[in-house]
Amino acid sequence: MRQLALATALVTSPLVMTAATAKETVSFFVIAYNEPGLGQWWQKLVKIYQDKTGNEISIRNTTGSDYYTQLITEVASGSAADILTVNQNNVRELVAGGQLRPLNDFVDKPGIRELLADGAWDTLTVDGKIYGLPITGRTLELLYNSCHLKESGFDKPPANLTEFIDMARKLTKRDGSGTITRYGANMVNANEDPTYEMLLMLTLAHGGSLTDKDGNFTLTSEPVVKALTVMKTLYDEGVVPRGLMETDQRSLFATGSTAMTIDGQWQFPFIKENNAANFDCYKSAKHPWDGPATGGVNQGLAINAKAANPEAAWALLEIAASGEMQSVFSDHSPYIPYGRNALTQAQLDARPYLKPWAESITTAHPIVPRHHEDQFNTIWPIVAEAVVSTLQNGVAPADALAKAQAALEECCKK
C-alpha cells in the first residue's frame, strides 16, 4: 500500500508542479540557438523543460559576434530576458549594475551543489553570492600542425617559451621572392580583447601578472615588459600574421597557413569540417610555458533580477545542471562541461584532442584582474592599445605600457 501511495505521489507530483506554474512564459537570451553543436544542446534543454514544466520558453537568439552589444542594449533599456547568457568577464559588471539575482536560495536546496564539479560554482560567484550556473568553460592551450613540424624536423611540440619562439621562426616559410607563405605561429595582435589575453598569458609565462595581490596595476613591471617585447620580436620578425583578428588567424591555422597556435578546442570541429584531408595533422598539447592557462566560464546562465517568476527560470537552470543534460553535453559540443564527471571516458576517447583543456579547465587563471572584475571592458581596450601601438606604430614596449598604466590608474581605481 505504501509503495502504491509513493508511486502515485511520484506520478502525480510532476502534474501538481505543472498545475502550480502552468503557462508561464520565460524568456531566454541565448547565443546561436539555431546552429549545430551547442545550439542543439540548448534546443534539447528547452524541449525537456517545456515538457516537464508546461511553461513556454521564448527564445531571444543572438550571434556570437553580436552577443555583447545585444546583451547591453537589452539590459540598459530595462528589458532583458528572464534567463541571460553571461560569462566570467561580464558577470561582475552585470552584478554591479544590479541586473542579476543571487541564486543561493536555489543552489542550497539539497542535491544541487553536487551536480557540478568541485569549484565550478565558485566561477560565477561574486562576494560570496552565486550569480550563475556555469555551462561551458574555455582555456587556451597549444594546437600544432604535426605535419608542418615534421617537415621542419621537429618531432615534438615546444615545451617552453624559448622553444616556442625558436620553432615559430623555423616553421615560417618564405617563397623565392621573400614573401611569406606560411607563418610559424598565430599571435593575436589586433585591437580586440584576445590581444589583452595574449599579453596576460605571456606575462604569466614570465612569472608576473597585470596586477598585484591588492589589485594595483603592474603594467610597468618587468614580466609585462618582457611579455610585450616577446610579442614585438615575433611581430617584427614576421613569424606571426600581422593585424588579423583572432577569428581570421584561426582560419589560417585551420587551413594550414600557420603551424602553431594558442587557442581553444573549437578549432578541431572546424578543421574536421573544412580541412578534413589534413585533420590527422592537427594535435593539441599543454601551453608551452609554466603557470596556469588563462580562461574561465565562457557561457553560463544567470537569472535577471527583475524576472517575474524566478522559480520558473531556475527550473531551466536546474535541468541544465542535471546529469541528464550534462552527460549528453559532449555529444553536441567540443566545450568542456562543468557537470560532475560529465565528460565520460567514452566521450573523451571520441575526441582525444580535448585532453589539455579537460585538464586545465578547473585551474584556469581568470582573464580579468582581481579586484577589477567589474571593469573588464574598460581595461582591455587600454591594454590592447598598448600592445597594438607597440607592434604597429613602433612605440617602445616600456613607453606604451607606462602610458597604459597611467590610463588604468586614472580610470580603474578599485
Partner 1 sequence: MLQEVTGDQRPTTRLGRWRDALTDGPAFPLLMIVPPLLVLGLVIGVPLFKAVLLSFDRVILTRPQLAGQFTFYNYAKLLSDPSVWAAVWRTGLYMLGTVVGSIALGLSAALLTRRIVRWRGLARTIFILPWSMPALVAALVWGVMYDANFGVLNRILALLPFEIGRVEWLLNPNTVLPALIVAQVWNEFPVAYIFFLAGLQAIPEELYEAARVDGANGYQQFWHITLPQIRYVMAVIVVLLAIFGLRAFPIIHLLTQGRTETLTVKTFNAAFRQFDFSYASSIGILAVAVSLVLVLIYLRLTLRQDGSAI
Partner 2 sequence: MTLGAGILAMLRGAALVVLVVITLFPIYWMLVSAFTPTGFSRQITGFLPPEITLRNFTLLITERPMLRWLWNSVLVASLASFLSMMVGMFCGYALSRLKFRGSYLILVIVLASQMIPSTSILVPMYALFRDLGLLDTIQGVVLGHISLVLPLAIWMSKGFFDSIPPDLEGAARIDGCSRLSALWHVAIPLAAPGMVAIFVYGFVTSWHDYVFPKHFVTTQDLWTAAAGITSFRGEYFTLFEPQLAAALIFALPVVILFFVLQRRIVSGSLAGGVK
Q: Which residues bind partner 1 (CB under 8 A)?
A: 68-69, 72, 75-76, 93, 96-99, 180, 183, 190-192, 241-245, 257, 374-375, 377-378, 381, 385, 388, 392-393
Q: Residue 266 binds which one of partner 2, partner 1, none, with CB within 5 to 8 A depending on kind? A: partner 2
Closest separation between CB of residue 109 and partner 2, Å? Answer: 31
Closest separation between CB of residue 31 and partner 2, Å? Answer: 7
Strand intervals (E) in 41-164: 56-62, 83-86, 125-126, 129-130, 133-139, 141-145
| Angle (nearest 5°) at CA 71 between 217 and 376 | 5
Among 151, 248, 290, 399, binds partner 2 (CB under 8 A): 248
Q: Using the rule CB under 8 A, is 73 a contact of partner 2?
A: yes
Q: Which is nearer to partner 1, 97 or 207 (CB)?
A: 97
Q: Residue 255 binds which one of partner 1, partner 2, none, with CB within 5 to 8 A depending on kind? A: partner 2
Sign of CA dihedral 158, 160, 162, 168: positive
> Beta strand 129-130 with 173-174: parallel, antiparallel or unpaired?
unpaired
Q: Using the rule CB under 8 A, is 274 a contact of partner 2?
A: yes
Is 223 buried (19+), middle (13-18) or exposed (0-12) by CB count in 10 A? Answer: middle
Q: Which is nearer to partner 2, 264 or 339 (CB)?
A: 264
Tell me the residue type at 399.
D
Distances (CA, A) of 88 to 91, 107, 138, 268, 334: 6, 18, 10, 24, 19
Closest separation between CB of residue 304 and partner 2, Å? Answer: 14
Q: Using the rule CB under 8 A, is 279 a contact of partner 2?
A: no
- Using CB under 8 A, which of the segments 232-240, 269-277, 303-311, 392-400 binds partner 2? 269-277
Closest separation between CB of residue 198 and partner 1, Å? Answer: 14
Eight-class DSSP state of 22:
T
Q: Residue 251 binds which one of partner 2, partner 1, none, with CB within 5 to 8 A depending on kind? A: partner 2
Q: Using the rule CB under 8 A, is 184 a contact of partner 2?
A: no
Residues 260, 249 contacting (CB under 8 angstroms)? no
Distances (CA, A) of 53 to 16, 23, 200, 311, 315: 10, 9, 44, 11, 8
Among 8, 22, 25, 36, binds partner 2 (CB under 8 A): 36
Q: How far apart are CA 273 and CA 280, in angstroms?
A: 13
Closest separation between CB of residue 355 and partner 2, Å? Answer: 20
Alpha helix (H) residue ranges in 58-140: 67-76, 91-96, 104-107
Tell me the residue type at 369.
P
Which residues contact partner 2 by CB under 8 A? 31-36, 59-67, 69-70, 73-74, 76-79, 181, 247-248, 250-252, 254-255, 257, 264, 266, 270, 273-275
